[in-house]
Amino acid sequence: MAELSIIWKDKMENVDKLKMNAPVYYAVDFEIKREVKFPLYGYITLKGAEANYRVKISAIEPYESREGILKKTTRNLKSLLKIETVQDISAIPLSEFKKEDGGYLKRVTKFSYGILEEQKEFEIKKFRDMTDDEKEIYEIIKSEYDIELPFSLIEKIVKVKKEMGLKKRDTKKLISKVVEIYRRRMVDPYEAVGIVAAQSIGEPGTQMTLRTFHYAGVAEMNVTLGLPRLIEIVDARREPSTPMMEIYLREDIKNDEDMVKEVAKKIESTEIIDVADVITSVADMAIIIQPDPKKMKKRGVKKEDIIESLAKLKAQKLVVEDEGDRIKVKLPEPSYKKLYLLGEGIKSLTLRGVRGIKRAIVRKSRDNTEWVIYTQGSNLADVLEIDEVDGKRTRTNNILEIADVLGIEAARNAIIEEALNTLQQQGLNVDIRHIMLVADTMTYNGIVEAIGRHGIAGQKESVLARAAFEITSKHLLTAGVLGEEDQLKGVAENIIVGQPVTLGTGAVTLIYKPKKKR
């Protein structure tokens, strides 16, 4: 039997309050628009990907303010749910719920693990239709090996066949070898892939250096590599210690050095302090800006640009005087403190360029075929808006910025590429599938999460697993106060209590069923 229920997204702090106060009335920002039978069961999801808590609801009333109620939010409250109990559940994917009329959900409790006859026809998930050659290879694999290879492998087989001019017999040998390797690399059921990935990345990680290196061919620019960079990636740092960009340009200008230098000037952020001396004159109660003609010419800035930029300081009605070779800025009312703050504000005023990019250096690309702009600092969103920039090839090492601008799939690919490159630059060979697993774990919720106590490790369902990672006493105390239960389903918690881990052979329970005596 499937069970009718409601499901909503909530915060962990609200769930904790419900646990500690149940039974309690809970005010929510949605309405129940049809008659229901009580008790009704509701499911709470913390991140929208899976249901984490099951609540028993004994009554639903229209919202009215009263004492002793808990609130989901502070506005648009519509209903009062009387919640009797709150139960932790192993996270149930939302794919196990089906939408019913009236905003209700039906939880599917009976599953069919076999493949229905009419579903046997495999449909490849692809971005285009298959060519005749691809269809031919697909049919051979399907009929002779009864296996479904990824579309990317079929593409590669066709490419190799064309490049090497393989005949039908040789093509079949190639397919046979690909299928053999593919089957050999498939993961066994109940394999501890997380542990294997951790070992495979952790062991080579002990051989990594702790140094910062010059960036490929660019002596003026440093970039963090080795172990510090790997830690930055898995910690999902908001800002890398050495943010940088590799900006590629359009086909028509990528080989014109002068044009590329002009684009670099447009990108490089120029502040007043970069082209002028800013002096605080206490005697005159004014800020003196002394432009440097050589620096201004190099950066393509004029004195009028400096005067215009002073208009950005709208908080104060400044008196700006152009005295030929210098600019004097006065406050309407004398004040030592305000004068000092004004001087600091003027130094950091941006005259031109992209905010956040301190330097832009023009160098030949790694394959020496075109001019590329390397930057110190990163601002992907603003750089992609520049007409001359080729957005498809331009890249940054700031993964969270990629997630904000291009989405979570792009961030996942960036994690894989950055981690793989960091390891390979140290001469360490790690299978890409281990890094893919790390990237998937960090991004499957739709946001980039750190692998640590502030991210994935701190959100584990198991109390003992959380306590084993960091801050043991805090986790155990909180679990005791909230009355949490540990189902002992993971690796760490089973090792702690001294029982077999539910992986590999430990995941299978054998039951002897004797023959009945007649």
Whose CA is closest to 268, among 285, 247, 254?
Answer: 247
Which residues 6+ apart lie within 8 Å of 31 measured at CB?
Answer: 78, 79
Phi/psi at 351 (nearest 5 deg)? -90, -40
Which phi-psi region, left, alpha or beta, contains residue 257 (left: φ > 0; alpha: ψ -120 to 50)? alpha
- For 36-57, how does the pLDDT look when each residue is reduced to its tens digit (9 = 90+)? 778 888 888 887 777 888 898 9
The confidence score (pLDDT) of residue 114 equals 34
The residue assigned the tokens 């890398």 is 240
The angle, 0 to 180 degrees and rounded to 10, between the axes of the packed helices 12-21 and 472-482 is 50
Which phi-psi region, left, alpha or beta, contains residue 68 (left: φ > 0; alpha: ψ -120 to 50)? left
Give the other-Cβ count within 10 Å of 210's Cβ: 9
CA gyration radius, the chain: 31
Which element (helix H / strand E) includes 380? helix 380-384
459-472 residues labelled b (16+ CB within 10 A) or e (exposed): bbbbbbbbbbbeee
Q: How far apart are CA 377 and CA 242, in angstroms?
A: 7
Q: How far apart are CA 318 and CA 308, in angstroms?
A: 12
Which element (helix H / strand E) includes 93? strand 79-93
Tens place of pLDDT per residue across the chain (518 aa): 345 678 888 888 889 889 888 889 999 988 877 677 788 888 888 877 778 888 989 999 999 888 889 998 888 888 999 999 888 876 777 766 766 654 455 554 433 333 334 333 444 444 457 788 888 888 888 888 888 888 888 888 998 988 888 888 888 899 999 999 988 888 887 888 888 999 999 888 888 877 666 555 555 667 788 888 888 999 888 888 888 899 999 888 888 888 888 888 888 887 777 777 777 777 677 777 877 778 777 777 777 777 777 766 665 677 777 777 777 777 777 777 777 777 777 777 777 778 888 888 888 887 878 889 988 888 898 888 888 888 889 999 999 999 989 889 999 999 999 999 989 888 888 999 999 999 999 998 888 888 877 777 666 778 888 888 777 888 888 888 888 888 888 888 889 999 888 888 787 777 787 887 76
Spatial strand order of the sheet with 105-107 comes to 70-71, 24-28, 79-93, 50-62, 40-45, 3-9, 105-107, 97-99
Half-sphere exposure of 327 (CA within 13 A, CB side): 22
Q: How far apart are CA 462 and CA 445, in angstroms?
A: 19
Q: Answer for the pair 403, 412: CB distance below 8 angstroms, yes or no.
A: no
The confidence score (pLDDT) of residue 90 equals 65
- For 132-145, how does the pLDDT look when each residue is reduced to its tens digit (9 = 90+)? 888 888 888 888 88
Cis peptide before 334 (omega within 30 of 0): no
Give the other-Cβ count within 10 Å of 289's Cβ: 25
Q: At 318, is the secondary structure helix, strand, or coil? A: coil
Q: What pTM was computed for the model? A: 0.63
Whose CA is closest to 454, among 242, 243, 238?
Answer: 238
Structure tokens at 34: 């049809």
Q: How far apart are CA 448 and CA 405, in angstroms?
A: 13
The residues pairing with 85 across neighbouring beta strands, listed in sequence order, are 56
The residue assigned the tokens 């990237």 is 439
